[in-house]
Each structure stands twice: as C-alpha cells, then as structure tokens.
Amino acid sequence: MKTIDDSAILSALLEAALDAIIISDHTGRIVRLNDSAATLFGYLAAEMEGQHVRMIMTDDMASRHDAFMRHHVETGEKRIIGIGREVVGRRADGTVFPLHISVGRAVIADATMFVAIMHDQTSKQIAEEAAIRSNRMDAIGQMTGGIAHDFNNLLAVVIGNLELLEMSEQTARNRPLIADALAAAELGADLTSRLVVFSRNSSLEAEVVSLNDSVTQTLAMLKRIIGAHITIDAELADDLWPTRADSTQLQTAVLNLILNAQEAMPNGGRIFLETRNMLLDDSYVAQDTGVEKGRYVRVSISDNGEGMSDETRQRALEPFFTTKASGSGTGLGLSMVYGMVKHSGGHLAIYSEVGEGTTINLYFPALEAGDEQQDVDATYEDALRGFGAGKVILIVEDDPRVMRLSNTRLEGLGFKCLTATTADAAWTILKDRSDIALVFTDLIMPGSLSGHDLAQRIAEQKPGVRVLMTSGFSEGVLRGGRISAEFAILRKPYRQADLVQALRTALQDV
Ligand SMILES: Nc1ncnc2c1ncn2[C@@H]1O[C@H](COP(=O)(O)OP(=O)(O)OP(=O)(O)O)[C@@H](O)[C@H]1O
Ligand SMILES: [Mg+2]
C-alpha cells in the first residue's frame, strides 16, 4: 500500500470535518483551525490564526478559560478535558450563540496542545424552545379544557333554571334582574365555549372548505361592524387548494383576527386579507419555527396598527393574555384561533413590529398530496448556481440570523455579498462604491433611515443601483401606506425560488 504522509492526512481531516476544529497551545494561541471553524465564527481562517482563543468567547467564557488554563498548567488536572459541554461562542459581528464543545489534550513536539471540536447548537436550541412553548400550550389547554367542560354543565343548569323563572315570573320588578342574570350566564357560556375550542376538546365539524368562501362570508358579515376609519381589502388566490376545517369556527377565527386588527388601529388604518397556496420547503421552514414541510393554504390577516412588543408576541396565544384594560377584553380571541388552527393540523405564525403593524398567518394543510413540485424545485436550484455571476449585492438586515441566511443563500447563487446592519451604514458603503448591482434591504430598520428611505435615496442619487426590499408584512398593507409602488417587495418568509424570481426581475437588463 502506498504510504500517505501524516500532514496530508491531517489536512484532509481538517478539510473534511463538518464540525469546527481549533488547535491551540497552552497560552491559548490558535495554532491551526479548519474552514468550518472560521465560517462558524464569521472570520477568515487567516484572521484567526495566531490570535488568542478569547476572540471567539464572551468575556465571561474567556475568564473561565484563563482560570482553567492556569489551574491545568499548575496542577495537571483535566477538568473539562474529555467531557463535552454546552457553552456560548461569539462571532466576528459580536453576536453570541450556543455551542457544544469537546476538548482533547495532546503533546506535539514536547508542547501541550488543546484540540477543540465545536458544533453549532442554534437550531437545536430553537427547536427546544419551540417544543417547550408547545408543551406549555398543551398543558394550559388540558387544564382549561377540564375547567371549561365542568363550567359548561353548571352554566347549562343556571341558564335553564333562569329561563324557567323568567317564564313564570309575574312581578315586573324581578324581570330585569332575571334578564341580567341570564345575560351574564350566557356570556359565561360563550366564554367557556371559546375555551373549549382552544383546548381542542370540542368536536370540530371538519369538512372540505374553500377558505376563500369563508373569508368572503366573514367580510360580508363584518361590513357593518368595521368603522369608517378602517379600510379592508382582500386579495384571494383564485386557484386555491381545498382544505379541511370547521367552517363556522374558521369564520369566527377570521372575525377575531379582524377585530384585533381594528383594535390595534384606534386612529384608523388598513386591514389586508390574503389567501395563497404555499409549498413549504426546508429553506422556508428554517425561517418560520413551528411550521412543518408540506403544502398549505395560507390565510394572512395584516394591519398597519400599533404592533406587538416581543413579550406580547410570545404570550399572545395564551388564553386570558390581554393587553386591554381589565374588563374590556377576555384574551381568548387569539387562543381560540390557535386552537382551531392546530386542531385542523395547521400552524399559526405571528409577524409583528411595534409601531408598524401585525400579520397573522394561518396555515391549513392542503388536501391533495403530491410532491412533483418539490422535485422541480431541486433541479431548478441546481440550474441556478452561478446565476449571480459575481455581481455584488449589499444586504441590509438588522436580524443576525436572517442576515446569515440571506448571505448563505445569495452566495450560493453566485453573488458577492456585502453586509450592513442599518440603512445608515448601508448608505455609507454605497456612497463610495460603484460596483454594487443591487441592494437587498429589510424594510423596517433601526436608525434614522428605514429600508424604504434608503431605497428612495438610492433612486434619487444612485439610479444605477437596483433595490429589492423584503418584509414580513404583506404587500397589500404596505402599499396602501407610504411604500411607493416603484420598489419590489419580497414577502418574508420566502422560498429560494421566490428569492430567485424577485432578483431576476429586479436585475433585469443589468
Ligand atoms: N393585530 C394586533 N395588533 C397588535 N396587537 C395584537 C393584535 N392582535 C392581538 N394583539 C395582542 O394580543 C393580545 C391578545 O389578543 P386576543 O385576541 O387573544 O385577546 P384580546 O383581543 O385582548 O381580547 P378579546 O379578543 O377577548 O377581546 C391583545 O390584547 C393584544 O395585545
Ligand atoms: Mg381579540
């Protein structure tokens, strides 16, 4: 057998490893690393070599590391060596992320070296958090379901007896008292029935429905209730796949969402309803946690109202969670919608920005199966490697996770990427360069410039540069406001194929 020299094997090993590998000496200096390690931390390998490992640690981790090293050098005790553990890492852009690390010790040419093998735990953590949330909702569901069931029975007795009393009551003085008691008991019954929907104990009359019909009927019903300060528009796909749901509850759900939207816009605004067929693939599922792959029909209800804070968004689906003054809201609206969607085998996703608005997406599984489309997509993507042909794209995005995803996707398509985390920073980059073909910007950005301001400034001062905006809000609600029609908007979350299509249009004849 031909002998292969050890250093070639070492290089191959480092190259081939999917996990990040960093070799450091006893002072903590990085002696060698693989490309996976550089990519994981957002550096070039050359930028890390020779540096102290502190560069990839949070301050807290770094001081623990130093203390361990001192202890180890003094006593020879191997506290973390040989045991894997969960720590946090720090990327070049300052963001921190969960990491699994295992460290081994080796002596190379009389010097003690440490070999660290690291694995990104971000997606595992997201999945765990989603599971905890969903377990929590299940537990609340079981409890409320039990209470609601018993209360329903008690209320049935109260209502029945009050009705008998009302019929037999002769004195005019007692009639209003009975009427009040009846009204309150009926309100109670209404509440418990909504709780039952949330807890998924009710028997849903699942039938094959056209979501468009349900939305249209709800809209007709609402015309009188919605104030004149609110405009409602709808864009309903005409080739919508059929789905299975309880049509009465579906209408109640849409009604609840529209009322919430109206309540979020006390000074008026726009509500936009949209139905669409959606094919959710891996790239999509990566952006919207809690959604599984497959074919869905999506109903989106958007408003340009006050939006939700992070805390509100996290808790909005819980029964009895409300930000309304006590006595004016039950906090059961969204939990009822959530229960109904889950019961239909679907998903509910909230997208919201404070001061900008909210989009609630309901996904219902489409009835007919079929995966021919997915195969088409795969070959389509294959054919598109190199589509970017080295053109330079400036990505403007404040969410580091979305930024990384966009960066990876666009580079995969053959673009060269520059990045900026605010529109102001993007403009500083743009001003002095002439090689940027397109700016791909999030619409809502921190700082003095929004994505839309940036787009307008580019149109005025850098007309050669194309702009593609992206937003979690549906176009319908944005267009009615201040967003001019001259810029294309790609709706988040989007599939790779949607991104390519939008880029192709934006880059036409460049
Ligand atoms: N479109 C929206 N825009 C902003 N915040 C919203 C929106 N929809 C819901 N929320 C927030 O979520 C909370 C819970 O909504 P939910 O519909 O469950 O209860 P509610 O509207 O407060 O009460 P009820 O529906 O019983 O009148 C609201 O109090 C509000 O803070
Ligand atoms: Mg509500």
Nearest Cα neighbor of 114 from 75, 77, 74, 69 is 69
Residue 284: pLDDT band by 50, 70, 90 thresholds? Answer: low
> Which of 70-74, 189-193, 296-300, 445-449 is predicted most confidently?
296-300
How is the chain split into domains, by residue range? 6-120, 123-202, 205-370, 378-506
358 Cβ closer than 6 Å to some ligand 1 atom: yes
331 Cβ closer than 6 Å to some ligand 1 atom: yes
269 Cβ closer than 6 Å to some ligand 1 atom: no
Mean pLDDT of 227-242: 89
Residue 207: predicted pLDDT = 79
Say how far apart CA 492 and CA 283 lie, in whole Å. Answer: 12
Say how far apart CA 503 and CA 438 lie, in whole Å. Answer: 9
Q: Which ligand is nearest to the CA of 194?
A: 1
Instruction: Tell me the per-residue pLDDT of 94-146, one tens digit each, with 9 for 90 and over.
Output: 899 999 999 888 888 888 888 999 999 988 887 888 788 888 888 887 788 77
pLDDT exceeds cutoff 60 at 357: yes
Give residues with Cβ within 8 angstroms of 107, minimum separation 6.
Answer: 113
Residue 372: pLDDT band by 50, 70, 90 thresholds? Answer: very low
Written out in words, the top-level CATH class of the domain with range 6-120 is: alpha beta
pLDDT exceeds cutoff 60 at 414: yes
Residue 445: pLDDT band by 50, 70, 90 thresholds? Answer: confident
337 Cβ closer than 6 Å to some ligand 1 atom: no
More confident residue, 369 or 492: 492
Q: What is the CATH number of domain 378-506?
A: 3.40.50.2300
Residue nearest atom 19 of ligand 1, based on CA coordinates: 331
Query: How many Cα neighbours within 13 Å face the side chain of 114?
Result: 23
C-beta of residue 388 within 8 angstroms of C-beta of residue 438: no
214 Cβ closer than 6 Å to some ligand 1 atom: no
359 Cβ closer than 6 Å to some ligand 1 atom: no
Residue 382: predicted pLDDT = 60
Rounded to the nearest angstrom, the distance between the alpha carbon of 273 and the centre of ligand 2 is 17
322 Cβ closer than 6 Å to some ligand 1 atom: yes
pLDDT exceeds cutoff 80 at 19: yes
More confident residue, 389 or 59: 59
Say how far apart CA 501 and CA 510 lie, in whole Å. Answer: 15
pLDDT exceeds cutoff 60 at 201: no
Hey, what are 84's tokens? 């894997």
Q: Per DSSP, what are the bridge partners of residue 112? A: 107
Instruction: Tell me the per-residue pLDDT of 494-506, one tens digit each, with 9 for 90 and over.
Output: 777 778 888 988 8
Residue nearest atom 12 of ligand 1, based on CA coordinates: 316
pLDDT exceeds cutoff 60 at 380: no
Residue nearest atom 17 of ligand 1, based on CA coordinates: 333
Average pLDDT, the chain: 85
pLDDT exceeds cutoff 80 at 354: yes
Distances 221 to 207, 225, 275, 283 between C-alpha atoms, Å = 21, 8, 18, 38
For the ranges 153-167, 344-358, 470-484, the lowest mean pLDDT is seen at 470-484
First to last CA, the chain: 55
Question: Ligand 1, residues 322, 337, 360: which to mutate, most atoms within 8 A of Cβ?
Answer: 322
For the ranges 147-161, 244-258, 444-458, the lowest mean pLDDT is seen at 147-161
pLDDT exceeds cutoff 50 at 375: no
pLDDT exceeds cutoff 90 at 272: yes
Per CATH, the architecture of 205-370 is what?
2-Layer Sandwich (3.30)
Mean pLDDT of 358-362: 94
